[in-house]
Amino acid sequence: MTAIITASELAQQLAGGAPPVLLDVRWQLSVAKAAGAPAFDGRAAYVAGHIPGAVFVDLDRELAAAPGAHGRHPLPDLAEFGAAMRRAGVSAGRPVVVYDGGQGWAAARAWWLLSWTGHPDVRVLDGGLPSWRGALSTEEAVPAEGDFAPVPGAAGLLDADGAAALARTGVLLDARAGERYRGEVEPIDRVGGHIPGAVSAPTTENVGPDGRFLPAAELRDRFKALGVSEDTEVGVYCGSGVSGAHEVLALAVAGIPAALYVGSWSEWSSDPSRPVATGADPQ
């Protein structure tokens, strides 16, 4: 089973006798907005029009805990996450498809959380809502309660110490923009730069102009050029564990398992005792 699904495949499944649970996770990172400019409202976007049957999921409230010592989007309380997923109709025995506004980051965060906590069949709509060619609905879906009970995986998650170790023993990919990796700009966190030993690998380079993932073979070639081989242990981080999930998804499309450092740079850089590297050199 692949980790992504096309819009035409999704339309066929929704028209069938056993449609997947459909989650709308539209979200945008708010960075340096002009004074007085309203923040993006994912629920308002959902109400204005969504794929019929989709249930809105709030990334900041349901896919993350409140910002704090462990970063801007730390892991949610798993009991609260499970309750939110059950309200959305998620059950262990029913496929789930997640989409967002097209960037793919928020949908990937939902995909990663559900997969890491044991759901066996979760996919992301490749290209997000812009790829959908069917009608949209303004009717809020009210699904039957699901039965999904999240159980954290034994692998796939890194903490700060694990990320630092992996940067030395395997390949730790930094999914942020190159200028943030190099420390030239830092619009959000305390200091710019990267975890020593991490390799710059902007997740935006995993997709084409239409926002869809590159073919699996091209992704494999890209990651190979970044030092990933068949026996390499791979980890990913970003600013706060959202765009990094998108890179983990790209790696999954390429057939490469990877772990996510959820706290990411927002956690790492908050501790002045942790080392910071700058420039294009991983070290």
Tell me which residue of 176, 191, 187 sits closest to 241, measured CA to CA. 176
Q: Which residues are known catalytic residues?
A: 238
What does the chain come to in residues?
A: 283
User: What does the block give as tokens for 244?
Assistant: 């990094």
Residue 21, H or E segment: strand 21-24
Residues 255-283: b if buried by 16+ CB within 10 A, e if exposed:
ebebbbbbbbbbbbbbeeeeebbeeeebe
Q: What share of the chain is helix, strand, coil (3-state, %, to 5)?
A: 30, 15, 55
Q: How many helices (H) and strands (E) does the chain have?
A: 10, 10
Helices (H), the chain: 7-14, 42-48, 59-62, 78-87, 105-116, 160-169, 178-182, 216-225, 243-253, 264-268
